[in-house]
Amino acid sequence: MDDMSTQPWAWDEQTWRSKVEHVRAGRSMKPAKWKNGARCAVALSFDSDHETNELRDGGKSIGRMSQGQYGNRQGVPRILDALAKYGAKATFFVPAVAALLYEDEQRRVVAEGHEIGIHGWIHELNSQLPYEIERDLMFRAADTLERITGVRPVGLRTPSWDFSPSTLRIERELGLLYDSSLMADDDPYELLERGEPTGIVELPVEWIRDDAVYFNMHRFTGLRPHTPPAAVYDIFYREFERAYEEGGLFLLTMHPHVTGYRSRIWILEKLLEEIARRPDVWVATHAEIAAFVKAECP
Ligand SMILES: [Zn+2]
């Protein structure tokens, strides 16, 4: 590490401004009204990582890979059943390797009206990769999902929300409609690259609205679930309730191998029930929401 990167207090203004301005939130793309006059939009996403969380870390633990397989055997079917019960459409972000392991799962997801978005090749961390490798993996991931499902993906969620200095450039080269990995707002906004509007819609995530933060467990580190399911439901519900009051977007990230359990799936089911009680909520895929705000906020 050179002095320039290890001594931020010594940077000149141009250096710190340049870092901040590389990728930035531009104009808000929160529409006055959502589709069909709806007051609020709901974007539910499920990151079907399955075994790739362990493969990304070296693939040494057969136990952790079996947890990943649970995501396919129990998690995704329970989630799809809950969505079908309430007629809700959602987005599944799937690493290409997970899609190759479970091609039928992806085809069922698409056949039931849901969207599949890009989630890396093998859940790699983009910020560890040079531009050429990140670009190759992203393009191959898009091609793989298209070959399996018959639908070209239009959105990306970076694995672990690890957005590298090259990610936005590659998203533009891929011609994507939206990204869903950054956190500058509650509501959709346009991504700027060095101050230039990119036309790419950001559908913002937050760790607050991610089940993994509350529930993940790792035997050999200190990682444990500290938040009971009822408290997690309360946080998610309050995020939805306030989005409804403000006429904004409620975007939630869940994982089949985290929420798909008998003691947790009710969180999703109860949220869907609360959402369905309000007729003026538009539940849609990320692609539908990004396309709508882009048309509404030209
Ligand atoms: Zn993931």
List, in order, residues 6 or more apart from 96 with CB less than 8 Å away: 120, 121, 122, 140, 141, 144, 145
**How much is the average pLDDT of 268-273?**
98
pLDDT digits (tens, 9 = 90+) for 74-129: 999 999 999 999 999 999 999 999 999 999 999 999 999 999 999 999 999 999 99
Q: How far is the CA of 11 from the centre of ligand 1 (A)?
A: 34
Tell me the average pLDDT of the chain: 96
Between helix 265-276 and helix 76-85 the angle, nearest 10°, is 20
**How much is the average pLDDT of 189-210?**
98
In the chain the domains, ranked by start, together with CATH numbers, are 25-296 (3.20.20.370)
Q: How far is the CA of 219 from the centre of ligand 1 (A)?
A: 20
pLDDT at residue 5 is higher than 90: no
pTM comes to 0.97
Contact 215, 232 (CB under 8 A): yes
Q: How far is the CA of 24 from the centre of ligand 1 (A)?
A: 23
Residues above pLDDT 90, as percent of the chain: 96
Q: How far is the CA of 48 from the centre of ligand 1 (A)?
A: 7
What pLDDT, on a 0 to 100 scale, did the predictor assign at position 4? 60
Q: How far is the CA of 240 from the centre of ligand 1 (A)?
A: 22
What pLDDT, on a 0 to 100 scale, did the predictor assign at position 219? 87
pLDDT at residue 2 is higher than 90: no
How many Å from the N-terminal Cα to the C-terminal Cα in the chain?
43
Q: How far is the CA of 123 from the centre of ligand 1 (A)?
A: 6
- β-partners of residue 192 are 24, 197
Q: How far is the CA of 53 from the centre of ligand 1 (A)?
A: 7
pLDDT digits (tens, 9 = 90+) for 55-88: 999 999 999 999 999 999 999 999 999 999 999 9
What pLDDT, on a 0 to 100 scale, did the predictor assign at position 1? 47
**How much is the average pLDDT of 20-29?**
98
Q: What is the DSSP string of 244-269?
A: HHHT-EEEEEE-HHHH-STTTHHHHH
Q: How far is the CA of 33 from the centre of ligand 1 (A)?
A: 31
**How much is the average pLDDT of 17-35?**
97
* Residue count (the chain): 298
What pLDDT, on a 0 to 100 scale, did the predictor assign at position 298? 78
Q: How far is the CA of 232 from the centre of ligand 1 (A)?
A: 19
